[in-house]
Amino acid sequence: MRRHLALGAIAYFAIALVQIPAAVSGIHQLTQLWWFLCVLIGVTFASLPIVGSLLGIYGAQTGWGWSAAESYSLFVGVPLFFLLLGSIIGAAKAISRRLYPHNPG
């Protein structure tokens, strides 16, 4: 169980490494504020799941020139993939416990 949580944390951290700079770029493109203020706002709001994804998509498209397909696949597709993967692992673990009740794994 702990390994699966670690995999989820690593995936979330990897997405955040791209999402936060994209959000900062999007905020800067939208508001033209001083970059340090954009970093503070970006770190604050990019940490929120839905808001961070939306800011990341906007920043990747406007600031970095990514296509809609690229930005949506990274900021929506990858988290959904890991959610699906975690659900499959959890269901397999529950089925395994039900079929083999004396196995601690």
Is 5 within a domain?
no
Q: What distance in Å separates the CA atoms of residue 77 and residue 94, rounded to the nearest whole number? A: 26
Q: What distance in Å separates the CA atoms of residue 45 and residue 28, rounded to the nearest whole number? A: 13
Q: How confident is the model at residue 61 (pLDDT cuts 50, 70, 90)?
A: very high
Average pLDDT, integer, range 77-90? 86
Residue 25: pLDDT over 80: yes
**DSSP state string for 38-103:** HHHHHHHHHTSHHHHHHHHHHHHHHTS---HHHHHIIIIIHHHHHHHHHHHHHHHHHHHHHH-TT-
Write down how long the chain is: 105
Is 61 within a domain?
yes
Domain count, the chain: 1
Is 32 within a domain?
yes
Residue 1: pLDDT over 60: no
Is 104 within a domain?
no
Pair 27, 59: CB distance under 8 Å: yes
Is 47 within a domain?
yes
Is 30 within a domain?
yes
Is 53 within a domain?
yes
Is 18 within a domain?
yes
Question: What angle separates helix 78-99 from helix 2-31, to the nearest 10 degrees?
Answer: 160
- The domain of 71 spans 10-99
Confidence (pTM):
0.75
Q: What distance in Å separates the CA atoms of residue 70 and residue 73, rounded to the nearest whole number? A: 5
